[in-house]
Structure formats: C-alpha cells, structure tokens
C-alpha cells in the first residue's frame, strides 16, 4: 500500500515504523513533536542525553522505556538514532548516515 499524504494534516496513514527484535515501534513524525524535541534538546542541561530526548519524542514515553529495557549495545543504539532520523525526514538510512557524517565534519 502506498503512503497517503494530505495537506490538511488530518489524515495520516502509514506512519514509519522501526522494528527492534520482534517489536515494531511507530515513529512520530509530526512537526509539532519535532519542534518540542528540538526545544528540549537545546535547553537540556545534562539531565538527559540528546539521543534519549530524540528517542523519547520519536517513540513516546512508554515505547522509549521498552527500548531502554532492551539495553541495546552502543552501536545498535547509535544505529537506531540514524534510523529515527531517516524515518522523521523520509530519507534512506544511507542518506541519514551521510548527513551525520557531513555535519560532524563541519
């Protein structure tokens, strides 16, 4: 089934999902969520890592807690951040990796 986009924002179908093990987690790609996430990242004072903030907003508190309980290895955790970024911006994983590389070089 194809993705369906509407300009009024009232109908959203096929939200991106990320599978970790046997669980599927929907990614919240709404602009309002992204804006809140950015604001919290900018104002974070060491209480939470930027990565934790991103995952909590992308997946919601309950799903984020489940992901934390999985105790992913660091490389898996960092890959998850890249997958979330790709899902939020509707780009491929490889494009997300390239953007991260480019921003870290600047």
Cβ pair 80, 100 in contact under 8 A: no
Instruction: Determine the structural domain holding residue 85 and report its residue range.
Output: 17-105
pLDDT digits 0-9 by tens, 42-92:
887 777 898 999 999 999 999 999 999 999 999 999 999 999 999 999 899
What is the predicted pLDDT for the residue at 8? 57
Backbone dihedral angles phi then psi of residue 91, each to the nearest 5 degrees: -125, 170
Q: How far apart are CA 32 and CA 80, in angstroms?
A: 21
Q: Coil, strand or helix: which one is 20?
A: strand
Domain count for the chain: 1
The residue ranking higher by pLDDT, 45 or 1, is 45
Report if residue 90 sits inside a domain: yes
Report if residue 10 sits inside a domain: no
What is the predicted pLDDT for the residue at 94? 93
Q: How far apart are CA 81 and CA 24, in angstroms?
A: 15
The yes-or-no verdict on residue 101 having pLDDT over 90 is: no
Report if residue 5 sits inside a domain: no
Report if residue 1 sits inside a domain: no
Is the pTM for the entire model greater than 0.85? Answer: no
Report if residue 12 sits inside a domain: no
């Amino acid at each position: 089934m194809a993705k369906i986009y509407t300009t009024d924002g009232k109908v959203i179908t096929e939200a991106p999902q990320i599978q970790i093990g046997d669980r599927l987690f929907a990614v919240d790609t709404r602009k309002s969520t992204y804006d809140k996430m950015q604001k919290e990242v900018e104002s974070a004072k060491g209480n939470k890592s930027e990565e934790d903030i991103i995952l909590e907003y992308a997946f919601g508190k309950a799903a984020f807690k489940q992901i934390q309980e999985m105790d992913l290895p660091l490389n898996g955790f960092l890959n998850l951040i890249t997958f979330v970024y790709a899902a939020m911006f509707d780009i491929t994983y490889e494009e997300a990796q390239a953007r991260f590389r480019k921003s870290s070089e600047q």
